[in-house]
Amino acid sequence: MKSTFDQIDPRCEQVARTLGCSRFQAFSLVVFPEADRGMITALTLAWARSLGEFGPLLIFAGSTRMKTEVLSTSVFLEMNVGNLEAAVAVSLIMVVGAVIVLVLTRLLGGAADERVARPRPAGVGPDALGDET
Amino acid sequence: MIAVQGLSIVAGNFSLRDVSFTIPQGGYGVLMGKTGCGKTSILESILGLRTIQSGRVMLGDRDVTELGPALRGIGYVPQDGALFSRMTVRKQLGLALEIRGVGPQKVKDRVEQLADWLSIRHLLDRYPRGLSGGERQRVALGRALSFVPRVLCLDEPLSALDSETRAQMCDLLADIRRRTGVTTLHVTHNLDEAERLADPLFRLADGRVEIVPRAAHGAA
């Protein structure tokens, strides 16, 4: 996500400021939308990373059936009771999920690579519009 | 009027000291100088995008030295246009007015007026991607002029254009000056551009800004 924001031309934010945007407006109206694909990619990767989390979940959340059970701990639980078919099925669900995430990341990342109460802002108000032509 | 008085800028090893010049109301000041001599730094100081060490920036009778860029009311066209990739041309032309709370109908009228004037009506619903260099600069100009600024700052706006498009843009800039009377500071290192547009012409060399007499423009 940091690299996404680093790649955004700072001139865009500067131009937005000269147009009358506050810092927040410049960020929310200009910079944030410019980073949309990078943010989605980052969120997707974070989700994928959490999908496969196992050790910390086992220690801090436990692996109680139907209560704190998640995909990764399900595999562990099914293996422990000897239900190999269920363990394989859950593993395949995780594999398919991971593949989908990788494809999405690739698509979104590729598309992103192709893209290269405050004081009233100064300037003449709406009444003066049209005077110049 | 743009008046820069005793401006000093320090950025790392680079510094400018005691820079002063004035562009009269409705004037079209062109600031020339070698690459890296500080032209853009001066422009950014006027826009409020760069912190200055000392000096004052006056726009008309207003001292804007302490104001942020949003409150100075200066139209700004950077070298590459810096168009917002996620906004249509129409949205970009109307942004400054929407921020100022102008009603939708007036925004629409103003956008169409600018589009006709700059010959970009056919681009209004397009995104910046795929626009030519000349089209990008026209959109950037329209965006900068949308809120009827009294001052316009152009940072080498024609440097990436071919000679034919550059000539067309020079005509357009002269037309903008005639129609709006906007006081302009145009930074460039292109002598042809400067000779066509400058009134007055300044040269930045060795950290000092000197006005170049019209008779000596060719030697600037």
Residues A64, A14 within the same domain: no
Which pLDDT score is estimated for B36? Answer: 82
Mutate to test the interface with A, among B40, B98, B147 (most CBs of A within 10 A): B147
Residue-number span of the structural domain to which A23 is assigned: 1-34
In this prediction the ipTM stands at: 0.91
Q: Which residue has the higher pLDDT, B54 or A2?
A: B54
Considering the domain boundaries, does residue A81 fall inside one? Answer: yes
Residues A95, A68 within the same domain: yes
Least confident of A14-18, A27-31, A129-133: A129-133
Residues A18, A58 within the same domain: no
DSSP string, chain A: -HHHHHHS-HHHHHHHHHTT--HHHIIIIIIHHHTHHHHHHHHHHHHHHHHT--HHHHHHT---TTTT--HHHHHHHHHHTT-HHHHHHHHHHHHHHHHHHHHHHHHHHHHHHH----PPPPS--GGGTTTT-
> Does any CB of chain B come closer than 8 Å to the CB of residue A131?
yes
Residue segments in chain B with a per-residue pLDDT below the cut of 70: 215-220
**Helix, strand or coil for residue B60?**
coil
Which pLDDT score is estimated for A123? Answer: 62
B80-132 pLDDT per residue, tens: 889 999 999 999 999 999 999 999 999 999 999 999 999 999 999 999 999 99
Residues A41, A28 within the same domain: no
Segment 46-75 of chain B within 8 Å of chain A by CB? 47-49, 67-75
A52-102 pLDDT per residue, tens: 888 888 888 888 888 888 888 899 899 889 999 999 999 999 999 888 888
The nearest CA of chain A is from the CA of B217 a distance in Å of 30
Q: How confident is the model at residue A12 (pLDDT cuts 50, 70, 90)?
A: very high
Considering the domain boundaries, does residue A85 fall inside one? Answer: yes
Enumerate domains of chain B plus CATH numbers. 2-219 (3.40.50.300)
Residues A66, A106 within the same domain: yes
Considering the domain boundaries, does residue A86 fall inside one? Answer: yes
